[in-house]
Structure 1
Amino acid sequence: MRKQSWSAWLTLQRKNWPLVMVTLLSLSTAVVLVAKSSSSSPVTCSCDRASDREAGEVPLVRESVPSRGESRGRSPSPLDFMKSKLVLLVSHELSLSGGPLLLMELAFLLRGVGAEVVWITNQKPADPDEVVFSLEHKMLDRGVQVFSAKSQKAIDTALAADLIVLNTAVAGKWLDAVLKDDAHRVLPKILWWIHEMRGHYFKLEYVKHLPSVAGAMIDSYTTAEYWKNRTHKQLGIKLPKTYVVHLGNSKDLMEVAENSVAKRVLREHIRESLGLRNDDLLFAIINSVSRGKGQDLFLRSFHESLQMIQEKKLQVPSMHAVVVGSDMSAQTKFELELRNFVVDKKIKDRVHFVNKTLAVAPYLASIDVLVQNSQARGECFGRITIEAMAFQLPVLGTAAGGTTEIVVNGSTGLLHPAGKEGVTPLAENIVKLATQVERRFTMGKKGYERVKERFLEHHMAERIASVLREVLHSAQSRTRS
């Protein structure tokens, strides 16, 4: 980093150290890590209707939370009625993917109002895992108890809990595998939070108990409709009462997004780590690298957009793409395909791969446009989309899944078809935003306004609180009867 950049960085640290730490280590459902990487370095999910339809290394962060009954002068929370309630959270895994991170966020919201929260992970690696270790300790530091999924403590907690949240369809396997003959005793107090859109999750072994639970919570109307139809037609079962709950950005992320000094310093820092100038135009896709997230099709579109610009002799800043969410240590065939593509097309100097981490804010501060290119049925919701909009970034997204409930086509971003037929439309949209600077800024501002209207933490807390009240009431009624 240049000497003046370090000076600004150190000044910001002295003046606003807590904000800088939150900026660099913020918890997000997206995955990323500051790593320069074009060559050898590893490169890196609820809702309102009507107008909504328009729409390696994990740092351990030690944070304190108010003890039970201690408010620290905070404003009343819509979740205050959960104080002293015992809540069991069951995750199918503990990883940097969206589902587990969202459940962790709920854990911290409940701890913040004085609920007693216990976490269990149904599937854990056989060998010690740095990500699992770090995330478990992050929860322990926030007052969340962590039990083994098959322990007697977990069974006793399930039987005694006021509420159980099963996170993702796969978590349903824990009921029969661990609770066994006692499973029926806990079904009336289960809220099943579902994030999946992929067909292979529709297995009876996962969701056979779904009709008997107190309720299901799903992140988008599109996904809820899909689950309703698919479970009925394919499995012959009916969903319980289902709630659609759009997600919201955390206060921590919003604080960074609204701090111009922090954003400027982070932009300089990340761009320098990637070897980019301040006026270079940077398009980013921020998701775990997998075929379902569409990084391959994005790179094809990006290459095609460069060809369009050259053929039409358009005057635009130097354009670059960054793929955030890579993991070369996994040595997947898909990751190698991406890297071979940029070499074959001779765009290695324009495409940058960044490894996965929790710190998404620095990248959102450093880019100009977010590409949300999830394929097939798209994202259930897509938390990174509203995070990008908080940073006043326009979004180029697939017209599928929950993205259509977030992005207002033509206003806060531009939508394109999923699949191969979307490659050229996405390329054309890249060119549009590359050449129409004022449109890019206007879309970003409108996206930020949309976030402020409906996609903040307090919006999500209010929506979840409404669901939890009903589920608790239902559980109490069914238990008494």
Structure 2
Amino acid sequence: MAKPPPSAAASAAGVRGQGPHRTRLLLLLLVAVAASASTAGYLLRGALVPPCDAQRDPVVLAAPASPLGFMRSKIVLLVSHELSLSGGPLLLMELAFLLRQVGSQVVWITNQQPEGTNDASYSLEHKMLNHGVQILPARGQEAIDTALKADLVILNTAVAGKWLDAVLKDHVPQVLPKILWWIHEMRGHYFKLEYVKHLPLVAGAMIDSHTTAEYWKTRTHDRLNIQMPQTYVVHLGNSEELMEVAEDNVARRVLREHIRESLGVRSEDLIFAVINSVSRGKGQDLFLQAFYQSLKLIQHQKLKVPKMHAVVVGSDMNAQTKFETQLREFVAKNGIHDHVHFVNRTLVVPPYLAAIDVLVQNSQARGECFGRITIEAMAFKLPVLGTAAGGTTEIILDGTTGLLHPAGKEGVMPLAKNIVRLASHVEQRISMGNRGYARVKERFMEHHMADRIAVVLKEVLQKSRQHSHS
């Protein structure tokens, strides 16, 4: 497997510069897209630094007015249940880099290391080392000593709770008062006492949406008979690097043309896309069913719309899981292979956001805890068709920045009708996209997230100090 390339988002930083500089960076974007197609493919959002900045100390680049400035010289231990290209670890890495930018000493521990050689984890570890993040083994005296001397310990995801008893053992009571538990899960199988039995005793819990926070409060009480600690809701924000690409018209146009050409899609055609790892919980099957129904509705109503395409970004061409096989069989059975495109998991998401016209966020059951791809799409002025579940309801303003539909099979026809609505009303697509972009600028930027996290960290540090002096 080829070594993963820098992300398109990061490579585009500074694209607004002089002509030759812009051209060079656009070429890097396109090379990154091409190179990612030859890897196992990764869904990685957030900023990978450009090669020229790889060896620079992030502290030197720090903005003096960062709301996290009070974390300078603080020792922060980050414990992740895994190191992968899923949302939780990537989000924790973003926080690690924000803390490094203000001069925090950041130490990273991965509780469950993959067996054998893993290019994804190798690439992510290399990225962290380039940012000055220290990486320690999950077990051993050094891990214990670091936890004891750290000013703050952040556990990432519910599953990371297993690390406490497995490693700290008798030292757990000393560390609990300075733990902030960052929770992203919405699935019921994470509510196991073996994971979260220490949750009531930590300094605080940080959760990505109000819906998820309420779910955890109710579920822990009713199922586990434990109480949540002080809980903080922190909505996420788009990285500055992604916004650089989203706000550069030339970059977007070049990427749009390149991706559409690679898919065999004309410039005037319409693309509705799901950008997520392919799994039943992400709802690609129901999306394709809705898309098929939308084609039938358009034909039945004799509507004149551009040719429509459904793009599923997040496939695993190597694994060919049973679920993905079922998706392809559905496409073949209904004769819509000219309309449906499967794209391998890719390191660079922004090019696909530049290429599509509407994002479909179709996560099922309780939905997404937050759903980062939704605000990323809104940054590209895309309307979003989302399930009325989870954190999506706190992002999308129904009828204003997008349209909501029910989760489950009952949502197939409403989604189909919403697809037809946006396909046949270009002015609605544009106005919803513009309003979504305005909402991102107002609420979902990186500096908004940093402000919100800073409030939480200040309170947690204060609680920890009070406990140590008591």
Q: Which runs of 5+ in 1 are unaligned?
A: 1-8, 46-57
Query: Once the two structures are superposed, what CA deviation does each residue of 1:319-371 show, in whole Å capped at 9, x if it has no partner?
Result: 00110111132231111111111111111121111111231100000000000
Are 2:231 and 1:242 aligned?
A: yes
**C-alpha contact (below 8 Å) 1:42/1:354 kept by paired residues:** no
Kindly report the root-mean-square deviation, in angstroms, between the aligned alpha carbons of the 2 structures.
Answer: 2.5
Task: Please give the residue correspondences for 1:150-299 in structure 2 after superposition, counting only pairs within 5 Å.
Answer: 150-299=139-288
Alignment partners' CA distance in 2, 1:412 and 1:201: 32
- For residue 465 of structure 1, what is the aligned residue in structure 2? 454
Q: Distance in 2 between matches of 1:317 and 1:88?
A: 52
> Match for 1:307: what amino acid?
K
- Rate the CA distance shift 1:19–1:254 in 2: closer, same or farther, 3 A: farther
In the alignment, does 2:363 pair up with 1:374? Answer: yes
Deviation at 1:228, TM superposition (A): 0.1
Q: Which amino acid aligns with 2:238?
A: N
CA distance in 1, matches of 2:331, 2:79: 40
Match of 2:113 in 1: 124
Instruction: Check if 1:14 corresponds to 2:20.
Output: yes
Report the counterpart of residue 476 of structure 1 in structure 2.
465
Taking the aligned partners of 2:310 and 2:104, their CA distance within structure 1 comes to: 43
Q: After superposition, give the CA deviation of every residue in 1:146-184 in whole Å (9 maximum; x if it has no partner).
A: 111113222211111100110000000000111111111
Q: Deviations over 1:82-139 (max 9, x none)?
A: 0110101111111111100000000010001110101111111111101010011011
* Counterpart Cα distance in 1 of 2:34 and 2:404: 24
Structure 1 residue matching 2:272: 3-state secondary structure: strand
Counterparts of 2:347 and 2:273 in 1: how far apart (Å)? 16
Distance 1:435 1:281 in 2: 10
Amino acid at match of 2:341: H
Instruction: Give aligned pairs, total.
Output: 451
1:274-316 residue CA offsets vs partner (Å, 9 max, x unmatched): 1111111000101111111100000000011001111111101
Partner of 2:374: 385
Q: Tell me how far apart the structure 1 counterparts of residues 257 and 444 of structure 2 sit (CA, whole Å).
A: 28
Q: Is the 8 A contact 1:61 1:138 kept in 2?
A: no
Q: 2: CA distance between counterparts of 1:251 and 1:169?
A: 28
Shift of the 190–119 alpha-carbon distance from structure 1 to 2, 3 Å rule, reads: same
TM-score, structure 2 as length reference: 0.91
Alpha carbons 1:43, 1:326 under 8 Å: kept: no
1:30-109 counterparts in 2 under 5 A?
35=37, 62=51, 63-64=53-54, 67=57, 70=60, 74-109=63-98
Distance 1:110 1:59, change over 3 A: closer
Counterpart CA distance in 1 for 2:350 and 2:83 is: 22
Q: Greater relative contact order: 1 or 2 (C-alpha under 8 angstroms, separation 6 or more)?
A: 1
Percent of residue pairs identical? 68
Aligned counterparts of 1:32 and 1:210: Cα–Cα separation in 2: 44
Cα deviation for residue 15 of structure 1 reads 2.6
Tell me the distance in 1 between the aligned counterparts of 2:59 and 2:119: 34
**Hey, what's the Cα distance between the residues in 1 that align with 2:35 and 2:397?**
29
State the distance in 1 between where 2:365 and 2:274 align.
17
Gaps of 5+ in 2: 1-14
Aligned 8 A contact 2:36 2:42 in 1: no
CA distance in 2, matches of 1:145, 1:332: 36
